[in-house]
Structure 1
Amino acid sequence: MIVLDWGRTPTAAPEVVLLFGSGLIGGAIASVVQRVGVGVVARRFDWSWPRPDPAQVRAVEAAVTTTLAASEGAGVTVIWAAGRSGFGSGPDDMAGEFVALEHVLQTARRVGATLPVDQRAFVHVSSAGGLFEGQVACGLDTEPVPLRPYGHGKLAQEDRVRADEDLGRRLILRPSSVYGYTPGARRGLVAAFVTAAVQQRHATIFGSLTTLRDYVYAPDVGHFVATRLLRPANDRSGVSTETCFLASARPASIFEIVRLVEGCLGKTLTLRIDPRPDNARNTSFLPSVLPEGFRPTRLQEGVALTAGTIIREHLMGVAS
């Protein structure tokens, strides 16, 4: 996990951020905050999954307490972007993830206990795809109807966070199919296609070429969260819960993704398509679900940026 902190600036209140998860979304949040923030300090700490060692907990909480003591008026935001589950996860996997979240919630309550409620916040990264799988043209009033343990587990996590007022302000994020590239992180569809092409391997599709999904570029999620973190103190409010969908509101088929990747690389992908796909349902969202200030990157641009990042890493590896 990563602890980020910064002092007061002309445009932002002082803050200490505990970021759990450094995968595609967590990595994007950390990267954007450090790039656009002023005087941001980042420190990494060990945190075992799903149950951290007591010494790890003490080290993190001591670091936060010391930083708060040295920064008058600073708030604390805890971000949960550490989910390891996926569409294929079973009940045991989701139970383990819930345990991991509980330990993070306990730390969030302890480090925020001495602060006014408007100086405490918790950001929970959920999953629009898991909650609304198979539902199309979803709006703000559409009720989630999970079809798998993954979706049920994510919904239970959301309910747990909403119910805990000691966390202060709660922001629940529901990103749709996230794509992009972070070294060491799980690869989504776009990164998997690009990597397969670069390494001259087959790309496997566990769906249908006509399957429609709503893809969102990971750095867009990072920018949205960073904007919320790097805001003036007078933007803080008391106890509240906000749920935000982070999507493109422009569904695309897997076939369209294939063509975009091929166009970026100048080569034809070799595909293997699962004859009995378990992940072929369409899922899409209306433009009306997008929160104010969220600006999704065009799919063509996001795919090109993802491909460029992977190609540069590949070339550097070949050169070394």
Structure 2
Amino acid sequence: MASAARRWIIGRGLLGEAVARSRSDTPFSVPVDWTDAERTKQTLSSALTDFLAPSGVHEIYWCAGKGVTSTPRERLQQEVAVFESFLAALGRTSAESDAVVVLFLSSSVGGAYGGAVGGPFTEHSPAAPASAYGEAKLDMERLASAYGEAHGWRTVIGRLTNLYGPGQDLSKGQGLISTLVNSAVTLQPATIYVSLDTLRDYIYEDDAAAVISASAARARQLGAGETVTKIIGTGRAVSVGAIIGELRRLRRRSGFSLVGQGAAVGQALDLRVRSEVWPDLDAVIGTNLPEGLDRVMRARLDLLTRG
């Protein structure tokens, strides 16, 4: 099990692309149409035979999903159904293969602890979802653990804090940091839906991917059917106001025009976390917030320069 693993990264957005470039090998890949749930299920199921054909260790990283705290429950449940369909197909296909399967599921700190109080939260803190988004994430965690136990996979559930980086589609204003950076660069008003003293842990895309890759490698040492849940974050929470202050310093401008401030449904005020599971793997996190903000800002400026 010490040999190089074959990888399949499902969902190639901000996180998936970062995981793909965290190692030098070329991951297995198939084009997936995410606009049609039934077609998505069929494509992923059909690709499993080719992916699992060679013997050895096979790592699957589920980084897919477009849901956020404001996404309607019906759409979130569609994502859960696609994931469960994939797990069922993986169970059928892996039963006919001698491949060792390591499954990584990207989950969410905000989803798991959105309704909790008394941070910092750890992997041993009781989950307390505050939205349909959080409930869907926990549903997926339970499915991953149950199918993994039934089929002997090694499973890692990664509860990620707030992910950010240049890999995000800045033109769409996705994510709080991307929204604030866009405002700092274009001088357009930023619309946010949480108070300025809201505390969040922000992790740079490549740092998160490095922890995820290290966790998948560590998971090979688990017993068949075992599941480990790990919080993936920096362990350092900052307020929205502090981010705004840092962006003002970087841009040497005083102004931020904010609209839409206020408590949003499913958004906790304090989401400080501390990982107590495999904490040694967190040593690969090396990007501090000022460095990360500067990279995101430079990417946005470059995007504007290129039109």
2:304 counterpart of 1:314 = yes
- Would the alpha carbon gap of residues 57 and 146 (structure 1) be closer, same or farther in structure 2, given more than 3 Å must change? closer
Give distance in 2, aligned partners of 1:281 and 1:51: 38
- Would the alpha carbon gap of residues 77 and 196 (structure 1) be closer, same or farther in structure 2, given more than 3 Å must change? same
> Which sections of structure 1, spanning at least 5 residues, go unmatched?
1-7
Give distance in 1, aligned partners of 2:69 and 2:105: 18
SS state at 2:299 partner:
helix
Give distance in 2, aligned partners of 1:179 and 1:81: 14
Corresponding residue number in structure 1 for 2:89: 107
Give distance in 1, aligned partners of 2:219 and 2:74: 42
Corresponding residue number in structure 2 for 1:128: 109
Q: Residue 21 of structure 1 contacts residue 82 of structure 1 at CA under 8 Å; is this kept in 2? A: yes
1:252 Cα deviation (Å)?
A: 0.5
Matching residue's letter, 1:103 = S
Give distance in 1, aligned partners of 2:13 and 2:209: 12
Give a deviation string over 1:26-85, Cα, whole Å, max 9, x none: 12111222xxx2x435544224343325763465235325xx34xxx4222222111211
1:161 Cα deviation (Å)?
A: 0.9
1:214 Cα deviation (Å)?
A: 1.4
SS state at 2:105 partner:
strand
Matching residue's letter, 1:125 = S
Give distance in 2, aligned partners of 1:294 and 1:97: 29
1:92 Cα deviation (Å)?
A: 1.1
SS state at 2:22 partner:
helix
TM-score by length of structure 1 reads 0.82
2:261 counterpart of 1:271 = no
Equivalenced residue count is 296
Give distance in 2, aligned partners of 1:265 and 1:123: 38
Corresponding residue number in structure 1 for 2:176: 189
- Would the alpha carbon gap of residues 218 and 160 (structure 1) be closer, same or farther in structure 2, given more than 3 Å must change? same
Give distance in 2, aligned partners of 1:89 and 1:108: 27
Give distance in 1, aligned partners of 2:219 and 2:201: 32
Matching residue's letter, 1:202 = P
Give distance in 1, aligned partners of 2:200 and 2:218: 32
1:231 Cα deviation (Å)?
A: 7.3
Give a deviation string over 1:117-174, Cα, whole Å, max 9, x none: 7x11111111011111253221332101111111111111111111112160010000
Give distance in 2, aligned partners of 1:58 and 1:250: 39
Matching residue's letter, 2:135 = H
Give distance in 2, aligned partners of 1:143 and 1:85: 22
Q: Percent identity?
A: 21
Q: Residue 126 of structure 1 contacts residue 154 of structure 1 at CA under 8 Å; is this kept in 2? A: yes
* Aligned-residue CA RMSD (Å): 2.7
Give distance in 2, aligned partners of 1:249 and 1:213: 10
SS state at 2:90 partner:
helix
Which one of 166, 191, 202 corresponds to residue 189 of structure 2?
202
- Would the alpha carbon gap of residues 74 and 206 (structure 1) be closer, same or farther in structure 2, given more than 3 Å must change? same
Q: Residue 201 of structure 2 contacts residue 233 of structure 2 at CA under 8 Å; is this kept in 1? A: yes
2:266 counterpart of 1:284 = no
Q: Residue 102 of structure 2 contacts residue 219 of structure 2 at CA under 8 Å; is this kept in 1? A: no
Which one of 155, 172, 175 corresponds to residue 170 of structure 1?
155
Give a deviation string over 1:190-231, Cα, whole Å, max 9, x none: 112112332331111211111111111121111112234567
- Would the alpha carbon gap of residues 206 and 167 (structure 1) be closer, same or farther in structure 2, given more than 3 Å must change? farther
Give distance in 1, aligned partners of 2:269 and 2:219: 42
Which one of 2, 8, 14 corresponds to residue 4 of structure 2?
14
> Which sections of structure 2, spanning at least 5 residues, go unmatched?
none
2:291 counterpart of 1:301 = yes
Q: Residue 125 of structure 1 contacts residue 175 of structure 1 at CA under 8 Å; is this kept in 2? A: yes
TM-score by length of structure 2 reads 0.85
Give a deviation string over 1:78-108, Cα, whole Å, max 9, x none: 2211121111123212211111212221332
Corresponding residue number in structure 2 for 1:180: 165
SS state at 1:224 partner:
helix
Corresponding residue number in structure 1 for 2:234: 248
SS state at 1:215 partner:
strand
SS state at 1:213 partner:
strand
